[in-house]
Chains A and B, each alone.
Chain A
């Protein structure tokens, strides 16, 4: 058994695809029309055959209150690993990305939290060697 997919609920799939590719830098992988929505996935260019993120429509009524409560408390439900959180935050801020937590180093871990403009907070994470 392997982990192949993980999902992120998004308000608008087209807007999400643009943010996750144009801004974050992921690559489109699957884009299959499925009724009024799409089966839409992206992958990291550093691991094009790795785990895919499904940009999942957030239409279910339970999703709204769930995400609102998480976002209000600043809780990122998904995290991406980067080599340098500070550099990545600088790059993304220059593209207009809003951070709810600026880079913070806690022992060997540095994190920052950004708004993906599709209803979610995302954590960037860097683990220093040694």
Chain B
């Protein structure tokens, strides 16, 4: 069953859900968030009214895919974004190099 590169199935599965993509958007905005902050951002910025338990489960899926790491700092638990697993996508299907006329979207400029 491992014939067609399913080793990275966790990443694709994690990205398939719009709430999980919204979580990544918010962690991109600011890494190192508590569950409370993430829930507040999801409901106010994305209209996602999921329960904390549901968001917690989404975070577990993202952690299993390596896209989110949680760390305990004293009594608090923070969640950090790690986009490294996304390389498995571009390594497998590399995008064409950006031409000078065609600035990459969301460029640093």
B36 near A75: Cβ-Cβ < 8 Å:
yes
Contact of A106 among B34, B44, B72 (CB under 8 A): B44
B72 CB contacts on chain A under 8 angstroms = 72
B76 near A102: Cβ-Cβ < 8 Å:
no
B36 near A72: Cβ-Cβ < 8 Å:
no
Query: CB within 8 Å of A: which of B9-48?
Result: 30, 33-37, 40-41, 44-45
A73 near B36: Cβ-Cβ < 8 Å:
yes
In angstroms, Cα B31 to Cα A49, docked, is 41
B37 near A113: Cβ-Cβ < 8 Å:
yes
B75 near A71: Cβ-Cβ < 8 Å:
yes
B36 CB contacts on chain A under 8 angstroms = 73-76, 101, 113, 121
Query: CB within 8 Å of A: which of B76-96?
Result: 76-78
B34 near A73: Cβ-Cβ < 8 Å:
yes
A75 CB contacts on chain B under 8 angstroms = 34-36
A100 CB contacts on chain B under 8 angstroms = 34, 37, 76, 78
B75 near A73: Cβ-Cβ < 8 Å:
no
Q: A73-B77, A74-B76, A106-B45 are in contact. Are A111 and B40 (CB under 8 A)?
A: yes
Any A CB within 8 A of the CB of B52: yes
Any B CB within 8 A of the CB of A35: no
B76 near A104: Cβ-Cβ < 8 Å:
no
A124 vs chain B, min Cβ distance (A) = 13
A101 near B37: Cβ-Cβ < 8 Å:
yes
- Nearest-CB residue, chain B, relative to A75: B36
A74 near B41: Cβ-Cβ < 8 Å:
no
A104 vs chain B, min Cβ distance (A) = 7
B33 near A101: Cβ-Cβ < 8 Å:
yes
B43 vs chain A, min Cβ distance (A) = 8
In angstroms, Cα B75 to Cα A74, docked, is 9
- Nearest-CB residue, chain B, relative to A101: B37
Any B CB within 8 A of the CB of A68: yes
Which residues of B are interface residues toward A (Cβ below 8 A)?
30, 33-37, 40-41, 44-45, 52, 72, 75-78
- 5 closest Cβ contacts across the A-B interface? A74-B34, A106-B44, A74-B36, A73-B35, A101-B37
